[in-house]
């Protein structure tokens, strides 16, 4: 069943890319990016940011489009590691006016499936301004996220509105564990707190939970550094399983106080390759881990549940 799903998805994705206007835009992006970043000369690409630009243009396996789709990736995750790692889905819609808000709980997350920063967290349904929410979602649904930062994997995502169960710890705090994986191996973990709020803080750790004194885009660091999670081994196993076959991907997970874990998303181009690192040595170090090669992933054989 899943094999048929993958084949149909890749078939539709192949033909959607040949919309004349879209194909023209993609070709223009490729020419621009190759010239700007000298992508044809891979020997000059040394840093993490530089290699992400190469990945944007040359490593555009259609499977990446499926995996950045916040709706369709759920089937992939279910097959790879099991449904227990998925947050509860409350609804999927083609347009905002299909949503029956009276049937939703008081707290939920509403998001578009085809990009980043396209979500709203609703903590009290009675307090929302319906017109503002409608305008926000409708504006995002009109936006092709892939053209904003030249991330080709997003261009052909078939746009949906999804509503998921609200997630938080008892204190209302929830950390996003973002695991940087290279060739299927987790190497660094970035903890991101309040990622869409005014008090955003981050911190980096290696896989042995040694603190790395680095940040990017002037984000504040957690102070003091966060404690090592009791289920770190499970976090790393999940990231390893989901990253198999890709030269680089960031696997995002939500980790709760009760040690449960929920899948967040798969991110192939961290900060669109434009992060301003506080330490350029770390940018270069990540680049050293980053092998410029095409994905090697078997769609069927890699769909075995995680054995923990």
Q: Is 103 inside a domain boundary?
A: no
State residue 6's pLDDT score. Answer: 54
Phi, psi angle pair for 260, to nearest 5°: -75, 155
Closest by CA position to 269, among listed 50, 69, 119: 50
Phi, psi angle pair for 200, to nearest 5°: -65, 135
Q: Is 285 inside a domain boundary?
A: yes
Q: Is 288 inside a domain boundary?
A: yes
State residue 299's pLDDT score. Answer: 56
- Number of structural domains found in the chain: 1
Q: Is 137 inside a domain boundary?
A: no
Beta strands in the chain (DSSP E): 89-93, 108-112, 119-122, 161-165, 175-182, 185-193, 201-206, 211-212, 220-221, 248-255, 261-267
Q: Is 102 inside a domain boundary?
A: no
Q: Is 132 inside a domain boundary?
A: no
Q: What is the mean pLDDT of each run of 10 residues along the chain (308 residues)?
A: 52 51 85 95 96 95 95 96 97 97 97 96 95 98 96 96 93 88 98 80 97 96 94 98 97 94 98 98 98 79 50
State residue 121's pLDDT score. Answer: 94
State residue 13's pLDDT score. Answer: 53
| Residue 233 domain boundaries | 1-86+169-308
State the CB neighbour count (10 A cutoff) for residue 250: 20
Q: Which two tokens stand for residue 137?
A: 């979602």
State residue 297's pLDDT score. Answer: 77
State residue 28's pLDDT score. Answer: 94
Q: 103, exposed or middle or buried, with CB in 10 Å at 0-12, 13-18, 19+?
A: exposed
Q: Is 295 inside a domain boundary?
A: yes
Q: How far apart are CA 59 and CA 153, in angstroms?
A: 9
Q: Is 236 inside a domain boundary?
A: yes
Q: How far apart are CA 182 and CA 273, in angstroms?
A: 15
Structural contact between residues 80 and 242, judged by C-beta atoms closer than 8 angstroms: yes
């Amino acid at each position: 069943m899943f094999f048929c799903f993958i084949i149909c998805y890749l078939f539709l994705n192949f033909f959607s890319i040949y919309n004349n206007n879209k194909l023209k835009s993609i070709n223009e992006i490729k020419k621009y990016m190759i010239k700007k970043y000298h992508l044809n000369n891979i020997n000059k690409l040394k840093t993490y940011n530089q290699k992400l630009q190469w990945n944007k243009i040359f490593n555009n396996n259609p499977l990446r489009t499926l995996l950045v789709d916040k709706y369709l990736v759920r089937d992939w995750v279910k097959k790879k590691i099991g449904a227990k790692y998925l947050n509860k889905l409350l609804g999927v819609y083609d347009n905002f006016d299909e949503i029956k808000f009276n049937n939703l709980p008081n707290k939920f997350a509403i998001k578009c499936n085809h990009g980043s920063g396209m979500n709203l967290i609703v903590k009290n349904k009675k307090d929302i301004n319906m017109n503002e929410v409608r305008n926000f979602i409708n504006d995002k649904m009109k936006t092709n996220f892939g053209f904003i930062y030249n991330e080709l994997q997003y261009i052909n995502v078939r746009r949906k509105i999804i509503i998921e169960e609200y997630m938080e710890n008892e204190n209302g705090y929830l950390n996003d564990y973002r695991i940087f994986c290279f060739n299927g191996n987790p190497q660094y973990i970035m903890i991101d707190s309040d990622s869409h709020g005014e008090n955003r803080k981050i911190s980096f750790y290696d896989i042995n939970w040694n603190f790395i004194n680095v940040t990017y885009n002037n984000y504040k660091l957690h102070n003091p550094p966060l404690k090592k999670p009791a289920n770190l081994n499970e976090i790393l196993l999940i990231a390893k399983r989901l990253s198999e076959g890709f030269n680089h991907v960031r696997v995002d997970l939500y980790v709760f106080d009760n040690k449960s874990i929920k899948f967040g998303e798969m991110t192939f181009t961290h900060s669109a390759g434009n992060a301003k690192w506080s330490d350029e040595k770390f940018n270069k170090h990540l680049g050293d881990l980053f092998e410029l090669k095409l994905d090697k992933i078997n769609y069927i054989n890699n769909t075995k549940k995680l054995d923990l």
